[in-house]
Chain A
Amino acid sequence: MMNVEKIRKDFKMLENTMQGHDLIYFDNAATSLKPKSVVDAVVNYYEHLGVNCHRGDYDLSFQVDSAYENARKGVAEFIGAEEKEIVFTSGTSASLNQIAYGYGKFLNQGDVILSCEAEHASSVLPWMKVAEEKGCGIQYVPLDDEGRITLENFKKVLNDQVKVIALAHVTNVLGYEIPVKEICALAHEKGAVCVIDMAQSAPHMKVNVKDLDCDFAAFSSHKMIGPTGVGVLYGKYDLLQKMEPFMLGGGSNARFDMCGNILLKDAPYKYETGTPPIEGVLGFHAAIQYLSEIGMENIHAYEKELHDYAIEKLSKLDNLILYNPHADTGIITFNVKDVFAQDAASYFNTQGIALRAGQHCAKLLIDKLKTSATLRASLYFYNTKEEIDTFVEACKNATIENCLNVFF
C-alpha cells in the first residue's frame, strides 16, 4: 500500500499556502507537482554534469550522454517500448504535431482522419491542418450520452477511407479511458494507424504500448511529476524511420553538403535537433523512477479510491452538477448550479483550492455537456481524503453570494 503521508513530504510545493490556507492542489491534469528527487536530479545536472550531450569527447560529456540515454532506456521500460522508439520532444503537443507532420505526408485526398469531440486541441488541430492541406476529411467518433467513446460507436465510423485514428487514451475533460487495444486491432484490420494521446493516461495508470499495439503515443513529463519542457513521442520503429522530422539542424543529421544532400541520422536521433532540455530529461528519468517505485497500479488504485470517495460525497450535494461521476481517473468535472465556472473558481481560490475553470481546450465538447464552461478538479496520488473533505465543504458554500464576496 501507499504511504501518502510519507509521499507528501517529498513534495515541497505542498508546504505552500494560498490565500492563507494550506494549498490543496487539484489541478493535476494541467500539471503536477515535483518531488525532491526530481528537483535534485535537475540541480545535479547543473552542479555536477553541466555540459552538452552528443557532442564532446571528454569525461563529463560522456557522463551526460550516458545519463541522457539511460533516461531514454527508463522511459522505454516504463511504457514497454524499445529504446530506439523513444523520441524526446518538448511535450505532448510537440509530439503530436511531429506525428501529424510526418505521417500526414503519406495521406491522400479523400482519406479520413478519425478524432472525437472530447479531444484536446493538441490532438485534433494538427490533423485539421493536414486535412486542409491534403484534402482529407476529419470525422468524429460519436460519444455516448455520458460522453464516452464506445467500441460500437467507433465501429460505426471506421471504414476503408480511414487512415489515421487520433484519440486520447484518457480525455482531459471527462477522464474516461477508451478501449485502445480493441480500437487499435480494428484500425489495423483497415490499414489505419492509431495515434494515442497519453498525456492523461501515462501519469495515472500502467501503459504498455506493445500490448495496446498503438502505432504512436505521446505524453508529457510535467504531468507526471517531471520537469516542464520534456515529452515523449513513441512510434513503432519502422514508422519513425519512414517519417520526416519537422525540424532540421544540428544533432539530427549525420552529414550534409552544400549541394543540399542531407543524410539524417536514424530514429530517434533524427527527430532530436538542437540541444535538448538535458536537465529536464534527467529530471524526467527521476520522475519515472519515483512513479515506478510506488507502482503505477498502486497509483491508479489509490486515485480511483480518492475519486470514488469524492464522488460519493459530492453527489449528495444538490447545488452541484457532476458531469462525469463514472470517470476512470481522478478527473471530476462539475459546475455549481447557477454560478459561472470562473466565479466559482475564484471562490475555491480563496479557500486555498487550486482547480481549473474553463473549456479545458476541448471546445468541441461544450456542445455535448451543454454548458459554456466547467470546473475541473483533478487528483493525483499525493492528494488525500482530508483534502477532499475540505473541498466538499467548499462546494457546499460556493453560493453566488460567497463567490462574489471574494471581491470584498
Chain B
Amino acid sequence: MSDLMQDPMILRQIIMDHYEYPRNHELTHDENYMTRHMASDSCIDDIHVESKISNDIIEDIRFDGVACTIATASTSIMSELLKGKTLKEAHVIIDNYHAMIDGKEYDEDLLEEAVALHSVGKQANRIKCATIGWKAMEEMIAESENHGK
C-alpha cells in the first residue's frame, strides 16, 4: 500500500467522495437482479442493494437509500470493488474486509479504497454502518450459491 493510503486526509477524502458522489447509486428494479432491503439493523440507515450474478460472476451491484457517510461510502466502495469479480474472488475480499473492520490482519492491496474504513471500529457502534451494504451482498452471494446447488 502506498503511503498515500496511510494519510488520514486522503482516507477522509475517499469517504467524502463516495458519500457525496456514491457510485452505482441507482436501482435497476430489473427482475434479473437479486435485491435486499437493509433497514432493520439500525434505526437510521435504510438502503436497498441489488446485484446481478451469473455464471459465478458478479456482473453488477447497485444501491440506493438513506444512510450516513459510513454506510453510504462503504457500500459505494463495495459496489466498485466486487463488481466484475468471481464469487471466489469476492469471498476473499469480503473476508479481508471483515478482518480489517475487526482489527485483524488483512491484505491491504485487495481492499483498495476500502482501507479508508480501516479504523471505523474506533466508534464501536458504527461497525454496523460499515458493514450494512457488505452484508446485503454476502446474503445475495449465498443465495446465488444455494441456487446453483
User: Which A residues lie at the B interface, using CB under 8 A?
Assistant: 340-343, 346, 349-350, 357-361, 372-373, 400-401, 403-408
Contact = CB atoms under 8 A, between A and B. Distances in A.
Contacts of A401: 12
Given A372-B66, A404-B15, A404-B69, A358 B44 contact: yes
B122 A407 contact: yes
B58 interface: no
B61 interface: no
B28 interface: no
Given A340-B69, A357-B44, 9 more contacts: A342-B45, A342-B68, A342-B70, A372-B44, A372-B46, A372-B66, A373-B66, A401-B12, A405-B8
Given A401-B12, A405-B8, A408-B12, A341 B44 contact: yes
Contacts of A372: 44, 46, 66
A342 B44 contact: yes
B129 interface: yes
B126 interface: yes
29 contacts: A340-B68, A340-B69, A341-B68, A342-B42, A342-B45, A342-B68, A342-B70, A342-B129, A343-B70, A346-B125, A357-B44, A358-B42, A358-B43, A359-B43, A359-B44, A360-B43, A361-B43, A373-B43, A373-B44, A373-B66, A400-B69, A404-B69, A405-B8, A406-B122, A407-B12, A407-B15, A407-B119, A407-B120, A408-B8
A406 B15 CA distance: 13
Interface string B29-58: 000000000000011111000000000000
B95 to A, nearest CB: 22
Nearest to B15: A404
B73 to A, nearest CB: 9
B117 interface: yes
Contact of A346 (B43, B46, B119, B126): B126
B68 A343 contact: yes
B123 A406 contact: yes
B115 to A, nearest CB: 12
B11 interface: yes
Contacts of B46: 372
Chain B binding surface SS class: helix
A350 B126 CA distance: 13
B27 interface: no
Nearest to A373: B44
Nearest to B71: A342
Contacts, number: 60
Contacts of A340: 44, 67-69
A359 B46 CA distance: 12
B122 A404 contact: no
Contacts of B8: 405, 408
Nearest to A408: B8
B16 interface: yes
Nearest to B130: A407
Q: Which residue among B15, B16, B46, B69 has the maximum number of chain A CB atoms within 10 Å of its CB?
A: B69
A346 B16 CA distance: 16
A156 to B, nearest CB: 31
B16 to A, nearest CB: 7
A346 B123 contact: yes
Interface in B95-149: 117, 119-120, 122-123, 125-126, 129
Contacts of A342: 42, 44-45, 68, 70, 126, 129
Contacts of B16: 400, 404
Contacts of B44: 340-342, 357-359, 372-373
Contacts of A349: 123
A346 B46 CA distance: 18
Nearest to A342: B68
A221 to B, nearest CB: 24
B3 to A, nearest CB: 15
Given A358-B44, A359-B43, A408-B8, A403 B69 contact: yes
User: Looking at A343, A357, A403, which has the most chain B CB atoms within 10 Å of its CB?
Assistant: A343
A63 to B, nearest CB: 43
Contacts of A350: 123
A341 B43 CA distance: 11
A273 B122 CA distance: 44
A342 B42 CA distance: 10
Contact of B11 (A359, A403, A408): A408
